[in-house]
Chain A
Amino acid sequence: MAHRMLRIIPEKCTGCMQCELACSFVQTGRFQPSRSVIRVHLFDEQASYAPYTCFQCGEAWCMTACPVNAIAINPDTGAKVVLEETCVGCSLCTIACPFGTIFYNPETKKAFKCNLCEGDPACARACPTGAILYEEMPAVDWMAPWSAKVRSGYLEVVGAGGA
């Protein structure tokens, strides 16, 4: 089933951090970007600003890695969510995630990540430039093209027979 997902258009981003402010406010009731689960990286020398958050991967490595099944799929939104009561705070998911978009909170000793705000993402609402859209799209296996690229690079180095 197709769910609405966050689509990010980095070319539109100005690096204003309104998304981080809104996200952290939802999490903690404070303006606290260090707790935001959307992050904006400012690549100043490249004139490029890159917001990134959980892609809600089709094949979610955080879920696979979790030893106690504390990450589940919300059937309404399709979001992968951390079940706080189940999470034992081992941080394996944060290591497994290739994008660094699941985090560990030292205060609660639990993992936390984007849950799409139960279907009304605050970051998308807050963005003044329309760089974050909440749109229907099929769950993508974001990792496939990436691993294909990495693999081909690997083959170039070790030679076709080496894999």
Chain B
Amino acid sequence: MGGWTGQLLRVDLAAGRATVEPLNMTWARDFIGGRGLGARYLYAETDPRVEPLAAENKLIFATGPLTGTNASCGARYMVVTKGALTGAITTSNSGGHWGPELKFAGYDMIIVEGRAARPVYLWIYDDQAEIKDAGRLWGKTTWETEDAIREEVGVPDAVVASIGPAGERLVRFACIVNDRHRAAGRSGVGAVMGSKNLKAIAVRGTRGVTVADPRAFLEAAWAGKARMAKNPVTGSGFARFGTLATMDPINEVGALPTRNHQHGQFEGVKEIGAGALKKSGRLLTNKACFACTIACGRVTRVTGAGAARYTVHTSRKNWRMAAEGPEYENAWSLGADCGVSDQDAILMANYLCNELGMDPISMGVTIAAAMELFDRGVLTEARCGIALRFGSGEALVRMVEATAWRRGIGDELAEGAMRLTAKLGHPELFMGVKGQEFPAYDPRGLQGMGLGYATSNRGACHLRAFTAGAEVFGKMDRTATEGKAELTKKLQDTGAGTYDAAGLCSFVDSAVGPKDVVPMLAAATGIAYTVDDVLKAGERIHNLERLWNLRAGFTAKDDTLPPRMLSEPPPSGPSAGMVSRLHEMLPRYYEIRGWDAEGRPTPAKLAELGLATL
């Protein structure tokens, strides 16, 4: 056997015990790993109606068979749990070095259950796993935590995934950060970790990963690498400009959500894009995750003027040297969506999110909602301690810090935009789906993205069905609804099996598809997977997550978009006059999924996927 290590580590925090278990290899074959295998275990072991922050919720860290190999971008691990932000199943993905290190230590997954009586962290060195006191670490930022743990265990090569003050304080969109700047970002997986009193998991693994058929594996991996090198996006575009390369084209079609999605274009786009980052000298270099041949990471610093302009209380000693960010998503959420065009403010807010452990997408969109509430006089300067005006970099930076520590109005922002707007009597100002804030593509100008958001199992997400690829960079008409149901289903299933379960970064997808990945999976695991098998596994994973959500209490009514997306067109720009025509796509989507009119998988579909007994 290869690819998988065949072992998982089960950590019972209440009992203070970590035990090794063999991996369920039937599930491994059918659900591959990462997002799929994690979901299968969560489904088997947890009641979907559990409170996300209750001790009964489990927190699963799952790698894939390609994690830790030399397959390009085979760096990923997934955090699978019931999301604190959404109450839906979430599968939150991160790169860096942590996932591979876990494999090298000899484990495919960690299942964390229960709650520790006091703060602890988990230290894994190959076959030794130890639950250690984290009293001294509580209150520390993720960056401080990484350094402190490495010093305490005396292993400089230890890789740490931790929560910051935000996760400790159960901020609904707290994330888990590893390697300082990589994060399992979305849906509040960091809050679940915080609720368990688990500050960090540090790993050092020296044993390596084997593959079943080395020769075939190397050939497949090298073929994939060659394709990626030749492709303009994975070969050079993302290395030079990062994902920020996406901003200009999206703005040009009027789909760059601006000021809490009131507009579809941002006048400050030139000041916050890839060009500005480079020209201003803020971009220092680019950086790769483990085994990544794209290297889209932005290593940046704030300018001296920027550092002087804003008051920040969290440690900032590194910012003038080098930190990481922003990705396109963060530059948009903290920038355009809040109307902020000062790149230094965006960088500082981004660094703060990494350091304090919060998802910058949800943070930005929540601040944007608060800014609109301020505009309307619902929130006041007296209540917020600052004028929460669209465009104010000072307000942005202040709110990020206040939220992580739950200080003042930050305590309310920490609940996320859905709860904030509902509490203040304006639920219609929440821009998101199933409690999770939108990412950076306006579904009014990109019809497919709307369907993808509405049907994503973890709430609004751009990575589950990136139709914008076809709608902006490909040949599909972005304003049409025809064919979008088919495209959405196809992308959802392909992504789930081929990338998210295998342990690859989904950014390989412009160059490397199922035909390229399946030979790697087969050679790594020794199982004669076909393209059909892996696509079917993707469909199985998507349906399993759907079943979980239905049992958690979600219905077809939750497969929707905010009223602004459905009935309030952007006032100007190339998408002026457009709204999302979700109703034209959703019934067709249910139909081709083999679901009934209420969005429930039919018995026939479940039988076809081998899920009939669930």
Contacts and interface: CB of A to CB of B under 8 A. Distances in A.
B180 A21 contact: no
Contacts of B205: 34
B311 interface: no
Nearest to B286: A14
A22 B295 contact: no
Interface in B299-344: 299, 318, 321-322
Contact of B287 (A35, A45, A49, A128): A49
A32 B211 CA distance: 12
Given A44-B322, A47-B299, A128-B229, A29 B70 contact: no
A25 B288 CA distance: 20
A15 to B, nearest CB: 5
Interface in A1-48: 14-18, 21-22, 24-25, 28-35, 44-48
Contact of B104 (A29, A34, A44, A48): A34
B209 interface: yes
Interface of B: 68-70, 97, 104, 180, 205-211, 214, 218, 225, 229, 239, 284-293, 295, 299, 318, 321-322
B70 A31 contact: yes
Nearest to A43: B322
Tell me whether chain B's interface is mostly helix, strand or loop, or mixed.
loop
A126 interface: yes
A47 B285 contact: yes
Contacts of A25: 70, 214, 218
A36 to B, nearest CB: 10
Contacts of A35: 206, 208
A10 to B, nearest CB: 11
Nearest to A12: B285
Contact of B209 (A14, A30, A44, A47): A30
B208 A18 contact: no
Q: Which of B208, B209, B211 has the most CB of A within 10 A?
A: B208
A44 B285 CA distance: 11
A128 B290 contact: no
Q: Which of A16, A18, A33 has the most CB of B within 10 A?
A: A16
A16 B293 contact: yes
A138 B208 CA distance: 36
A8 B287 CA distance: 17
A116 to B, nearest CB: 20
12 contacts: A14-B287, A14-B288, A16-B292, A21-B69, A25-B70, A30-B208, A31-B211, A32-B209, A34-B206, A44-B180, A46-B322, A49-B287
Contacts of B286: 14
B214 A29 contact: yes
Nearest to B284: A47
B208 A32 contact: yes
A25 B229 CA distance: 22
B593 to A, nearest CB: 37
B290 A46 contact: no
Contact of A16 (B180, B210, B291, B321): B291
Contacts of A14: 239, 286-288, 292, 295
The 3 closest A-B pairs by CB, nearest first: A32-B208, A16-B288, A30-B208
Given A14-B287, A16-B291, A126-B70, A30 B210 contact: yes
Contacts of B209: 30-32
Nearest to A24: B208
A102 B395 CA distance: 53
